[in-house]
Structure 1
Amino acid sequence: MSSTLRKIRQWSSWKKALFYFTVLTFLTASFLFLTPPGGKIREWLAETVITTQHRSWAWIFVGAEQRDLMVKRLQDFNEEAAREKQDSSLIKIRNHQAKARSIDELIKVEDISGKFWVGKKMYVFDPKTIRVMTPPKSGEGERITAMVQRTGAVAGVNGGGFDDPEGLGNGFAAFGAIISGGEVIYTDQDGSIPQHIVGFTKDGILVVGKYNIIELREMGISDAVSFHPRLIANGKPLITSGDGGWGRGPRTAVGQKADGTVIFIVIDGRQAHSVGATLKEVQDLLLEEGCVNAGNLDGGASSELVVDGELLTKPSSRYGERRLPNAFLVYDDPTSVQADHVWDGIDKIDAGGSYDHPDFLREQAEKRGKQQQNPTPATKTDTEKTKTKTETRPETNKPAANKPETNEKSETSTEKGESAKPGGNATKEPGTKKPGVPGTGSTGSDTETADPDKPSGGQGNTSPTGTGSGSAAGGSRNGSTGTVPSSPAGTSAPGTGSGTPAETTEKSAETNAPDATPTRQQHQTQTPDQSGSGTAEPPAKTP
């Protein structure tokens, strides 16, 4: 044992690093796959990935079959939780002053924290002051800080989900339904098809469940978005075992107490200061507050709370605030504002992505600029190295034994010919990627397909399509290196026939000439087809 340790100490630093990495990998894999605690950790990791835009990668932790079972279990829970009809008689809305209220009279914000997370809790004392707001222009969503400042709102919280390619979507491809001021601003379903809804009636009663547009109108819904799952129904918690099946992550949720007070919960996640909360933890927070009904809203990198134009939470998005298709905003007089019908007349919606994200493009431009300012020093090509090596080879007055001049010339010719010939090196042209034009019902930033807490699309949306290109490898016409081996004086190489030294040199030069046959390149275009799955499922991402 001691001798082994001494040998390890004598290894180079890179060899030690490789050894320790291998040992650590072996121990970690053994713990995760051979122990019960490791199995629970793998399931937790799989749950977290399933509710992001990268659901398919969950097989790494639990396998494809177990992943599919977990997804189905989650879907079944979402449907079951939405089934019970809401009893509006449990909520008694208090009378509130009509106008001219200060921020402190409208809302109150408090810090909250748990073992693995920190966040904010906002009380809204008059539920009738809440309105769903939409972006002002077609083609892209809007950051909540801009939305609050533009419309004169007191505060704002992110609402429903949207299709979010690569986590860099433009925030315009909303899914489900958006209702504001009693008007249906957007829906990707026929009015008779039920959708997961989180919203408020004109009397200020929070409604969470699965309803179609016709039912929502009969219920007097004033403002609503689409998301899931339902957490509390008629005073009863719906997550009674486990952690809710969504792992840990950034969360946004809303609940309502019996006196009508609305509570928004916003929790940071996927960061060093806050890993994130489970759905069970969010549900329990709202239960402790006395909420009668509660539902989960879009989470992941979209989770944020803005008060008086200031962002109070820390979104996990790499570029800070994201552009969103809608938000719940608080107004002293909500009747004075109106949401824009920016989706009217649009048949197909481009969800965006890295190709048109302004922050991403700016970042890439800066990287290219730095590379141009600090170019990598040029290195000698293989041909130059070979030439230099040949030129600097020391000469001797004494010729090698049994090695006539003819063979020496042949060897030099072969060496140069190999370094200069174009054959054998495949030419590969860069592929092109063209954004597709998705529909309007895939997943959002934290839903099935991105970011991580989104319900499934299932609304007829398709992911952007891309094109790929391939290339055919080029090379020697006969597939050989074109090198003729040297032969002892007075003999001929196999297959070349006998001849004089001059003939041997000439044949060697001909053999090593570059192949004049040009390489052929072939391009094939493939258009992958991706679409959202069911109406209320997490993403087929996407952590």
Structure 2
Amino acid sequence: MNKPQKALSRAMAQMRSWSWLKRTYAAIFAIGFMISSFLFLTPTGEASREWMAQTVITTQHRSWAWMFVGGEKRDRMVAQLHLDRELMGTERQNFGMINVGNGHKTVKRSAEELIKVEDISAPLWKGKKMYVYDPRAIRVVVPSKSGEGERISSMVERTGAYAGINGGGFVDPDGLGNGFAPIGFIISGGEILYTDQDGSIAQHVVGFTKEGVLVVGKYTIDQLLEMGISEAVMFYPRVIANGKGLITSGDGGWGRGPRTAIGQKEDGTVVIMVIDGRQTHSVGATLKELQDLMLEEGVVNAGFLDGGASSELVTHTDGLITKPSSRYGERRLPSALLVFGNPDEYVPNNPWDGVTNIDPGGAYDHPDFLKEQAENKNKPKPSVSPSASTSATPKPDKSTEPSSSASGKPASPNTSGSPGAGSPSGGTPAGGGSGTPTAPANSAGAGTGGTASPGASAGAGAGGTTATPGTGASATPKPSSSAGAGAGASVQPSVKANSTASPGDVKLPGASAGQQSDAAGVAKPTAPTATTGGAGTGAAGSGGSPAAAANAGNGG
């Protein structure tokens, strides 16, 4: 046996003599060392870190991407993604490539005549594919009432539509927005229901003309109206233009996540793909994977709608048939694309008409979140033994005259804290703060300790010894006490957004309402208006998704 073998044998024998705890720590260290070496010392590991950073960038936690590639490289990646996205939207569409035919827009047709839904999957994801055989059957539908968005299943049931998918992006504080603060614009029936931009500013669009031609790319609202646009929302990126795939290297730069893609074939057939993501059964798809699938279908123009936790497909017969990554299931949305048997029957209302201040909502008013918090609060807590629960019978102090009194030391202050400042996202405020000292224990020559303050166990003390307080319960404010409203509290319909949304959970184009974006696209908060709530004042928080670097936001 050579020297290395002998050394290894001695090391193994020594390790076998270690305790199980020591062996566990050694195994964790060894595994961590190997993973770190792979990630930081090999080309494959570097590519893996970049992929993880790209995936995080399209979520509502974009700032965390620095953990994989560092802050400087993250900023360069974001800037490159913005540049690529803008370039992908610039090529003008050749509308002559699409031949929809005469169609039967005003004649009611059955679901079997209009749509077909299939399962699709790949090693890392599962989803649904839907064919819509007449694009003029697709309408943009908006919420039925002002103040909050509407779930797609509710829209389908309310309007009698055959199917529906999610539409454009929206301001989404902490992923708990109410779905009533759209980003960009919403057009339905040829009418502009909402816009936060001037008509001369080019924005990314997914929509249809009156003739049923899918429009994807970057256009101004004025150009869209001249083109005869009928239905449209704002989102990006375009991945197929005039029959060419625009992602020619890499995976598209957005990592893996839930996706909603839409494209059109030369005969007018619309192909929609909705992919589940961020779950054990389905990690999510890349942009290039869906681009390539669309090209295999013969699609000549294609782009993405809002993704992330907003991605979902609903049918009138089976309800929600995909699995959204949202913790509360279906989300409330400001817009959706629905398929109608007779699309002329749908007449859109305008829930934003006359609204000057739009509250995007957040943790403080999300019904499911508040219900969850209330249930957690009402759960029985395990009993904790008081720190000084034993009472002792004190012996009289013979050195003290019966008429004299010996004052005991005051009890320690109660540690129960008052709520601190509200968190920017409208979440749980930071607890802490000094409580009010309790009154001193009662003085007595041979008495028990004084009455304990709330949170303190009444203990016995000999000769006026004070009671030892127990642990004061920290005050946990309700979600409504946090001051931060998220996304800048309100969004004016006339406010101009800085950029556009991303195909993940990125809800805000450029940055959330109440924010600006720098050259690298990293959101920088402007001076927000502080709101008072509970016991602290919280600055208005970031909206939607830090993923948007424009990061849009779910939209998550």
TM above 0.5, yes or no, is yes
Find the counterpart in structure 1 of residue 313 from structure 2.
Answer: 305
AA at the equivalent of 1:51: T
Q: 1:33 to 1:336 in 2, by over 3 A?
A: same
Q: 1:70 to 1:148 in 2, by over 3 A?
A: same
Q: Does 1:231 align with 2:245?
A: no
AA at the equivalent of 1:422: S
Q: How far apart, CA to CA, are the structure 2 residues paired with 1:535 and 1:67?
A: 13
Q: How far apart, CA to CA, are the structure 2 residues paired with 1:91 and 1:27?
A: 54
Q: Does 1:329 align with 2:344?
A: no
Q: Does 1:422 align with 2:430?
A: no
Q: How far apart, CA to CA, are the structure 2 residues paired with 1:60 and 1:542?
A: 23
Query: Offset at 1:369?
Result: 2.1
Q: 1:350 to 1:244 in 2, by over 3 A?
A: same
Q: What stretches of structure 2 of length at least 5 have no aligned partner?
A: 1-10, 400-405, 421-480, 516-524
Q: Does 1:452 align with 2:505?
A: yes
Q: Does 1:81 align with 2:88?
A: yes
Post-superposition Cα deviations, 1:233-252, rounded to whole Å, max 9, x if no partner, equal 11111101100000001100
Post-superposition Cα deviations, 1:354-394, rounded to whole Å, max 9, x if no partner, equal 211111111122222222xxx3213222x558x87x989xx
Q: 1:442 to 1:163 in 2, by over 3 A?
A: farther
Q: How far apart, CA to CA, are the structure 2 residues paired with 1:459 and 1:191?
A: 21
Contact 1:351–1:438 (CA under 8 A) maintained in structure 2? yes
Contact 1:188–1:460 (CA under 8 A) maintained in structure 2? no
Q: Alignment partner for residue 378 of structure 1, among 384, 398, 409?
A: 384
Q: Alignment partner for residue 55 of structure 1, among 56, 62, 65?
A: 62
Find the counterpart in structure 1 of residue 539 from structure 2.
Answer: 527
Query: Offset at 1:447?
Result: 5.1
Q: How far apart, CA to CA, are the structure 1 residues paired with 2:102 and 2:553?
A: 45
Q: How far apart, CA to CA, are the structure 2 residues paired with 1:105 and 1:323?
A: 29
Q: Does 1:350 align with 2:350?
A: no
Contact 2:169–2:183 (CA under 8 A) maintained in structure 1? yes
AA at the equivalent of 1:380: P
Find the counterpart in structure 2 of residue 5 from structure 1.
Answer: 15
Contact 1:50–1:541 (CA under 8 A) maintained in structure 2? no
Query: Offset at 1:452?
Result: 2.4
Post-superposition Cα deviations, 1:448-494, rounded to whole Å, max 9, x if no partner, equal 6x972556245855598766999xxxxxxxxxxxxxxxxxxxxxxxx
Q: TM-score, normalised by structure 1?
A: 0.77
Find the counterpart in structure 2 of residue 434 from structure 1.
Answer: 483
Q: Alignment partner for residue 172 of structure 1, among 159, 174, 180?
A: 180
**What is the DSSP-based 3-state SS (H/G/I as helix, E as strand, rest coil) of the residue aligned with 2:337?**
strand
Q: Does 1:30 align with 2:41?
A: no
Q: Which protein is richer in helix relative to its size?
A: 1
Contact 1:235–1:291 (CA under 8 A) maintained in structure 2? yes
Q: TM-score, normalised by structure 2?
A: 0.75
Q: 1:94 to 1:451 in 2, by over 3 A?
A: closer
1:211-230 matches, within 5 Å, as: 211-230=219-238
Q: Alignment partner for residue 376 of structure 2, among 364, 367, 374?
A: 367
Query: Offset at 1:177?
Result: 0.7
Q: How far apart, CA to CA, are the structure 1 residues paired with 2:361 and 2:48?
A: 34
Post-superposition Cα deviations, 1:405-428, rounded to whole Å, max 9, x if no partner, equal 99xxxxxx9xx96xx6426x8763
**What is the DSSP-based 3-state SS (H/G/I as helix, E as strand, rest coil) of the residue aligned with 1:266?**
strand
Q: 1:340 to 1:245 in 2, by over 3 A?
A: same
| RMSD, matched Cα | 3.2
Q: 1:283 to 1:323 in 2, by over 3 A?
A: same
Q: Does 1:267 align with 2:275?
A: yes
Contact 2:307–2:505 (CA under 8 A) maintained in structure 1? yes
Q: Does 1:182 align with 2:190?
A: yes
Contact 1:164–1:451 (CA under 8 A) maintained in structure 2? no
Post-superposition Cα deviations, 1:174-206, rounded to whole Å, max 9, x if no partner, equal 100100000001001111111111000000000
Q: What stretches of structure 1 of length at least 5 have no aligned partner?
A: 393-404, 407-412, 471-522
Q: Does 1:287 align with 2:295?
A: yes
**What is the DSSP-based 3-state SS (H/G/I as helix, E as strand, rest coil) of the residue aligned with 1:83?**
coil
Q: How far apart, CA to CA, are the structure 2 residues paired with 1:391 and 1:452?
A: 66
Q: Does 1:42 align with 2:42?
A: no
Number of aligned positions between the proteins: 457
Contact 2:171–2:543 (CA under 8 A) maintained in structure 1? no
Contact 1:129–1:332 (CA under 8 A) maintained in structure 2? yes
Higher RCO (Cα < 8 Å, 6 or more apart) = 1
Q: How far apart, CA to CA, are the structure 1 residues paired with 2:192 and 2:321?
A: 30
Query: Offset at 1:435?
Result: 4.2
Find the counterpart in structure 2 of residue 104 from structure 1.
Answer: 112
Query: Offset at 1:24?
Result: 3.0
1:56-205 matches, within 5 Å, as: 56-98=63-105, 99-205=107-213
Contact 1:249–1:270 (CA under 8 A) maintained in structure 2? yes
AA at the equivalent of 2:491: G
AA at the equivalent of 1:439: V
Q: How far apart, CA to CA, are the structure 1 residues paired with 2:194 and 2:45?
A: 45
Percent identical across equivalent pairs?
A: 55
